[in-house]
Amino acid sequence: MSRLLLRSTTCTTPRSPAPSRCLSSMAITSSDHSLKRKQALALARPFDNAGSVTATVDPSFQLDKTIFKTLPPGSLLEKVQKTKLDTILSWDPSASALIESQFNEISPLPASGDEDLHAFMAKHADFSSEHADGSFFEHLHFCRDFTALHYPSGSPKVMLMHSIIGVGTNEFPLDVSEIPNLGKLVTAHELRQIEAFPSILRLLVHGPLLAELEGASASKLKKIKKLTLHRVIDNAPLELGADEVFEALHYHLIHSIDFILGGRGALAGLHAGVR
């Protein structure tokens, strides 16, 4: 494999962000992690808490208040995504105490030093379509903190900003004209990773890229030279070198950890036929 070449990703005409609503600094900078996230941060991996956590449906949850409001109503995709978000986890007291103890061992978390990026997000990005309860920012903080703790060769800034140029449902919090200004706050390498994140997410979900990588021998993987792809927001061409490709895959692995549910059996009986 002299190079891994992907000619294009599907380009959907982006929606221009509406004027940003006023966000409090607490909404952007807070890192008050849930127990599930505290456990993943402490253990550097997801953990099966079967028997220690139960889940109930949150009757007040509204999918149309989230970034997933564009999913077709009544579709399987909508039901599956709702399953991931509309649950309330209840923890066994002993499990809760153990997680808090494990988390205290890694506290305080590394200082982010991201005040300039927080200010940029508040001023230039429209997060009005994100989770109304602020959980989307908590997701960004988790990805940033996990990277800082457990992926020292990576960039926490990439994971803090990984969704600003496009999320999985073709919402685009940042107008394309603001990307050069974002580039003034991060390195050129970090910006490439931020730009590529939405595109690689779609390529991984699509399947062939991941299948090709999984089926490649170690010697074949070493022959990868680059990945060529297109930026989702405007179809601009992007190119990642071989090392950057594997760095990007690490970011997506970290990203996926936050979407793993708390434990087998916790969701039994909820949304029968989907869970």
Q: pLDDT (tens digit, 9 = 90+) per residue, 188-220? A: 999 999 999 999 999 999 999 999 999 999 999
Q: Is residue 269 part of a domain?
A: no
- Asked if the structure places residue 275 within a domain, the reply is no
Residue spans of the chain under pLDDT 50: 1-22, 129-134, 265-275
pLDDT in tens, 112-144: 889 999 999 988 987 654 443 446 788 899 999
The tally of domains found in the chain comes to 1
DSSP class of residue 177 equals G
CA atoms within 13 A on the CB side of 170: 11
pLDDT of residue 98: 97
CA distances from 21 to 10, 122, 128, 130, 176 (A): 30, 8, 7, 12, 18
- Record the tokens describing residue 71, joined without a space: 């999913």
**The pLDDT value given to residue 7:** 34
**236 three-state secondary structure:** coil
> What's the start-to-end Cα distance of the chain, in Å?
39
Residue 262 resides in a domain: no
What pLDDT was estimated at residue 135?
64
2, two tokens:
């002299």
Structural domain includes residue 67: yes
Helix (H, G, I), strand (E, B) or coil at 152: coil
Which residue range is the domain that position 141 belongs to?
Answer: 4-257
- Identify the burial level of 216 via C-beta atoms within 10 angstroms of its C-beta, where 0-12 means exposed, 13-18 middle and 19 or more buried: middle
| pTM score, whole prediction | 0.82
Question: Kind and range of the H or E element at 229?
Answer: strand 226-230
